[in-house]
A and B are shown apart, each in its own frame.
Chain A
Amino acid sequence: MRWPEQGRNDARRRHPATVRRLTRGQSFPAAKARYPVAKDIRQEDAFPMDFDFSDDQKFLKTEARKFLDARCPVGVVRGVLDNSGKSYDEGLWKAVAEQGWLGAAIPEEFGGLGLGGIDLCAIAEELGRALAPIPFSSTVYFLAEALMLAGSQAQKARWLPKIAAGEVIGCFATTERPGTLTDAQVQARVENGRLTGVKIPVTDGDVADLAVVLARESGRTGIYLVELAGAGVERETLQTLDPTRGVARLTFTGAAAERLGEAGEGLSLAEAVLNRAAVLLAFEQVGGADRALEMAKAYALERYAFGRQIGSYQAIKHKLADIYIKNELARSNAYFGAWALDAGAGELPVAAAAARVAACEAFWFAAKENIQTHGGMGFTWDVDCHLFYRRAQQLGLVAGGAKAWKERLVSQLERRNAA
């Protein structure tokens, strides 16, 4: 995908400084061989109708897949699933930090790689494929994006380098009760820089260092940074559908809180963060959905019934074709979302909602029909189908469910049609 030539993107073009970053710590060995080959950017731009990952992004994706194949086999995911005391894999988290992925989209002045949103999407797809049990989305799509959107220079300088280095885990604490997040739902209050209230469920809230919290101050909503190691913070780990990701209830009693952005901007900032996160999560969902399809296909080829591979029956073939169709529709919508995200385009609210709706549908469908294709084996703990089924639900709800996003999408379309 190519983005329009805008000033803010120029710094993200790969250049020697980026090469140094990418090869830091020899964690990206092949990058060294590749990136210094003076890539003629104009040549890349000469490709018309560029609606796909660039060669560099494909390379990044391939390297990410190899890395995750080696470092995040399904045993790592099960290691978190089967250990109730563990809510993420610390070794994988450290390794991902060493890869530089946490700071992929963070500007170089704040210790990141200064790559574009599309590069981050490429990484997200691979993390989704691998069902990576780490607080990546909370830290990168929510905390880092919120800081980059609304943080002051001082706030960015304080936190972004730590995020890029893997020293800070983030979380995004907005919701307080069942149902779509609305202004009326926000009961948490800030007075004189002190936060009081309860946020539930907060993904990665059990292990996070720094929370972005939606709360009300003098009647107006805002988003606030809260250090969770400080006084007045209690956390309780919750039982959830997807134990490969940690989730907590956070109870704040006069915890120190620092506002991000302006008072009264809370919901619109939260929405802006959610729009960006929705695109990135869509890539994780597309990655997961594609892998669920691969599993179903592999089983349909190896399993025999009535003397034939079950994949030779149209009941199975058409089911898998339908998964493929939904996955491709989701991928195409996600690509447009990636473009809008990276370009900071006005289309982002529509693009993000479409990406999210399509991705939720695709991963849900692929995950449930993967179990169905596996028959009774698919319903066992030992076969991996349920890991995808669980993650499909986790990703499908973590940034607000599809139902709410459909409503947002149609509202946006009404606005657009009226304009």
Chain B
Amino acid sequence: MDFNDTAEEAAYRAQVRAWLEANAPRSVATSTDPLEDSTDLKAARAWQRKKAEAGYACITWPKAWGGGGGASWQSVIFGQEEAKFPNPGNPFAIGLGMCVPTVMTAGNDADKERFVKPAVLGEEIWCQLFSEPSGGSDAAAARTRAVLDGDTWTINGQKVWTSGAHYSDFGLLLARTDPDVPKHKGLTMFWIDMKDPAVEVRPIHQMSGASNFNEVYFTDLKIKDSQRVGGVGEGWRVALITLMNERLSVGGGGSGSGHARVLKLASDISTLAGPAAKDAGLREKIADWFVQAEGLKYTTFRTMTALSRGQTPGPESSIGKVVSASLMQDMANTALELEDQFGIISDPAMAPLAAAFQSALMGAPGMRIAGGTDEILRNIIAERVLGLPQDVRLDKVVAFKDIPSGR
């Protein structure tokens, strides 16, 4: 938002820019698949450490915790400027955005002392172990069992869709400690060592061809009771802290430049009615996409405004992914239609724009599901923003073990 920086903002932006010019990585391995994990761990760790040492990692966290001790508007400006440089990937986002803040809120002092700083410095990476085969959208349906004997818990079960599990050092685990009470009351949160031999990580081969999600299996994993985050049976309350942090993290503007790429593609393509770029139907679609992408961008500005005023962002930030995922899918499909028979080619060496639209087409279904499906997000908007009633629930008052399930 160069157009209306105050003097203070402009000064900070200039300072950030100068620092990035001097320090940011110049080139990194990139991928055109938005779900492809192109993280170069070594480069990412080096960049994270550099930022942390300069106070630019976790800008709003207290300096005592390794943060920058700054304001949220500074964090926003840094993010805007950093986005202009090649990005080595951010394997720390889940840890620093969700897991570590949960430990900071609900964990014991020893854990805070132990985990916060190394995470900020990029030395340790976290993953979030919530979703299970029995519940993707329904995270409170977790069945992974934790059984206490003395001061040791034994964990058995399986998690799924775990981003970054294959390179994570620690995981935040939601487990079932009491199946005899209603589902939300029988859960407990723990941290676990992902390198323990009782933890097995298996990559999931995605339809896009990439693998950045995993299945995670626990077979008689033994952990200490001191690894509990929050009270026994309070796991769902703790999980909500994690999920709230997810909602508070400010996302980017979405497929902002997509319309320009379609226009560029259309300028090189002819249709039966003349140049594709002059096709009225296409132009209408481009206008619609532009308006959606801009709408998301300015909605983010509104969220930033609330943050900078020290207010909780309004519910408008909840529309982001539900709009951008379908926008990306629709745009990709239209672009391939434009390419006509050529559109089937996905080889980046041959397809227009290095097969960007082919990759987007294959990644888009995942975007519409990951981090809350389109349907769940619409439920969230309807229930939490508009105040409509929850669906009739069959699972809230009976013991977890008595809830009907498909398998």
Indicate which residue in A314, A317, A325, A358 contacts B291 across the interface (CB closer than 8 Å): A358
Kindly identify, within residues 284 to 299 of chain B, every residue whose CB is under 8 Å from any CB belonging to chain A. 284, 286-288, 290-292, 294-299
- CB-defined contacts of B316 to chain A, threshold 8 Å: 328, 331-332
- Tell whether, in the assembled complex, residue B291 and residue A51 are in contact, meaning their CB atoms are under 8 Å apart: no
24 sampled A-B residue pairs with Cβ under 8 A: A4-B4, A45-B6, A47-B309, A48-B9, A49-B1, A50-B4, A51-B298, A308-B389, A311-B388, A312-B389, A312-B392, A316-B388, A317-B382, A318-B382, A321-B381, A329-B292, A329-B299, A339-B4, A357-B287, A406-B283, A406-B288, A413-B263, A414-B277, A417-B263
- Least CB distance from B20 to A in Å reads 19
- Tell whether, in the assembled complex, residue B378 and residue A322 are in contact, meaning their CB atoms are under 8 Å apart: yes
CA distance A328 to B277 in the complex (A): 29
- Tell whether, in the assembled complex, residue A329 and residue B1 are in contact, meaning their CB atoms are under 8 Å apart: no
Binds A, one of B39-47, B164-172, B241-249, B300-308: B300-308
- Tell whether, in the assembled complex, residue B288 and residue A332 are in contact, meaning their CB atoms are under 8 Å apart: no
CA distance A321 to B379 in the complex (A): 8
CA distance A322 to B301 in the complex (A): 21
CA distance A321 to B321 in the complex (A): 13
A3 at the B interface (CB under 8 A)? yes
- Tell whether, in the assembled complex, residue B295 and residue A330 are in contact, meaning their CB atoms are under 8 Å apart: yes
- CB-defined contacts of A406 to chain B, threshold 8 Å: 283-284, 287-288
A407 at the B interface (CB under 8 A)? yes
CA distance A247 to B406 in the complex (A): 62
- A194-233 CB mask vs B (1 if < 8 Å, else 0) is 0000000000000000000000000000000000000000
- CB-defined contacts of A66 to chain B, threshold 8 Å: none
- B302-336 CB mask vs A (1 if < 8 Å, else 0) is 10111111000000100100110000000000000
- CB-defined contacts of B295 to chain A, threshold 8 Å: 328-330, 332-333, 354, 358
Task: Name which residue of chain A comes closest to B379, CB basis.
Answer: A317
Task: Name which residue of chain B comes closest to A353, CB basis.
Answer: B287
B337 at the A interface (CB under 8 A)? no
- Tell whether, in the assembled complex, residue B283 and residue A354 are in contact, meaning their CB atoms are under 8 Å apart: no
* Given A312-B390, A325-B381, A409-B287: A51 touches B301 (CB 8 Å cut-off): yes
- B199-215 CB mask vs A (1 if < 8 Å, else 0) is 00000000000000000
- Least CB distance from B331 to A in Å reads 14
- Tell whether, in the assembled complex, residue A354 and residue B382 are in contact, meaning their CB atoms are under 8 Å apart: no
- CB-defined contacts of A409 to chain B, threshold 8 Å: 287, 290-291
What is the predominant secondary structure among interface residues of chain B facing chain A? helix
B259 at the A interface (CB under 8 A)? yes
- Tell whether, in the assembled complex, residue B385 and residue A324 are in contact, meaning their CB atoms are under 8 Å apart: yes
- A291-331 CB mask vs B (1 if < 8 Å, else 0) is 00100010011000000110110101110111011001111
- CB-defined contacts of A316 to chain B, threshold 8 Å: 388
Kindly identify, within residues 1 to 47 of chain B, every residue whose CB is under 8 Å from any CB belonging to chain A. 1, 3-6, 8-9
A368 at the B interface (CB under 8 A)? no
A52 at the B interface (CB under 8 A)? yes
- CB-defined contacts of A3 to chain B, threshold 8 Å: 4
- CB-defined contacts of B381 to chain A, threshold 8 Å: 321, 324-325
- CB-defined contacts of A320 to chain B, threshold 8 Å: 382, 386, 388
Task: Name which residue of chain A comes closest to B304, CB basis.
Answer: A49
- Tell whether, in the assembled complex, residue A49 and residue B301 are in contact, meaning their CB atoms are under 8 Å apart: yes
A24 at the B interface (CB under 8 A)? no
- Least CB distance from A398 to B in Å reads 19
Task: Name which residue of chain B comes closest to A358, CB basis.
Answer: B291
A335 at the B interface (CB under 8 A)? yes
- Tell whether, in the assembled complex, residue B280 and residue A407 are in contact, meaning their CB atoms are under 8 Å apart: yes
- Tell whether, in the assembled complex, residue B392 and residue A308 are in contact, meaning their CB atoms are under 8 Å apart: yes
CA distance A8 to B146 in the complex (A): 67
B375 at the A interface (CB under 8 A)? yes
Number of B interface residues in the complex (CB < 8 A)? 56
CA distance A368 to B370 in the complex (A): 31
- CB-defined contacts of A331 to chain B, threshold 8 Å: 316
CA distance A335 to B306 in the complex (A): 15
* Given A49-B73, A52-B305, A332-B298: A309 touches B389 (CB 8 Å cut-off): yes
- CB-defined contacts of A405 to chain B, threshold 8 Å: 287
B403 at the A interface (CB under 8 A)? no
CA distance A318 to B378 in the complex (A): 5
CA distance A407 to B292 in the complex (A): 16
B54 at the A interface (CB under 8 A)? no
* Given A51-B1, A406-B284, A410-B286: A354 touches B291 (CB 8 Å cut-off): yes
CA distance A2 to B299 in the complex (A): 16
How many chain A residues sit at the interface, stated as a range, is: 35 or more
Task: Name which residue of chain B comes closest to A42, CB basis.
Answer: B6
* Given A330-B295, A335-B298, A354-B290: A297 touches B387 (CB 8 Å cut-off): yes
B139 at the A interface (CB under 8 A)? no
Task: Name which residue of chain B comes closest to A416, CB basis.
Answer: B260
- Tell whether, in the assembled complex, residue A413 and residue B286 are in contact, meaning their CB atoms are under 8 Å apart: yes
- Tell whether, in the assembled complex, residue B389 and residue A329 are in contact, meaning their CB atoms are under 8 Å apart: no
- Least CB distance from A346 to B in Å reads 10
- Tell whether, in the assembled complex, residue B323 and residue A413 are in contact, meaning their CB atoms are under 8 Å apart: no
- CB-defined contacts of B292 to chain A, threshold 8 Å: 329
- Tell whether, in the assembled complex, residue A46 and residue B8 are in contact, meaning their CB atoms are under 8 Å apart: yes
- CB-defined contacts of B389 to chain A, threshold 8 Å: 301, 308-309, 311-312
B94 at the A interface (CB under 8 A)? no
- B64-79 CB mask vs A (1 if < 8 Å, else 0) is 0000000001001000
- CB-defined contacts of B73 to chain A, threshold 8 Å: 48-49
CA distance A301 to B373 in the complex (A): 25
A28 at the B interface (CB under 8 A)? no
> Which 9 A/B pairs are nearest by Cβ-Cβ distance?
A329-B295, A406-B287, A317-B382, A332-B298, A51-B301, A321-B378, A321-B381, A48-B73, A312-B389
- Least CB distance from B274 to A in Å reads 15
- CB-defined contacts of B347 to chain A, threshold 8 Å: none
List 6 additional A-B contacts (Cβ < 8 Å) besides A4-B3, A50-B4.
A49-B304, A332-B301, A335-B298, A354-B291, A410-B287, A413-B259
CA distance A2 to B1 in the complex (A): 12
Kindly identify, within residues 372 to 414 of chain A, every residue whose CB is under 8 Å from any CB belonging to chain B. 403, 405-407, 409-410, 413-414
Indicate which residue in A46, A312, A357, A417 contacts B388 across the interface (CB closer than 8 Å): A312
- A359-378 CB mask vs B (1 if < 8 Å, else 0) is 00100000000000000000
CA distance A335 to B314 in the complex (A): 15
B391 at the A interface (CB under 8 A)? yes
- CB-defined contacts of B76 to chain A, threshold 8 Å: 49
- Least CB distance from B376 to A in Å reads 10
- Least CB distance from A317 to B in Å reads 4
A252 at the B interface (CB under 8 A)? no
- Tell whether, in the assembled complex, residue B288 and residue A357 are in contact, meaning their CB atoms are under 8 Å apart: yes
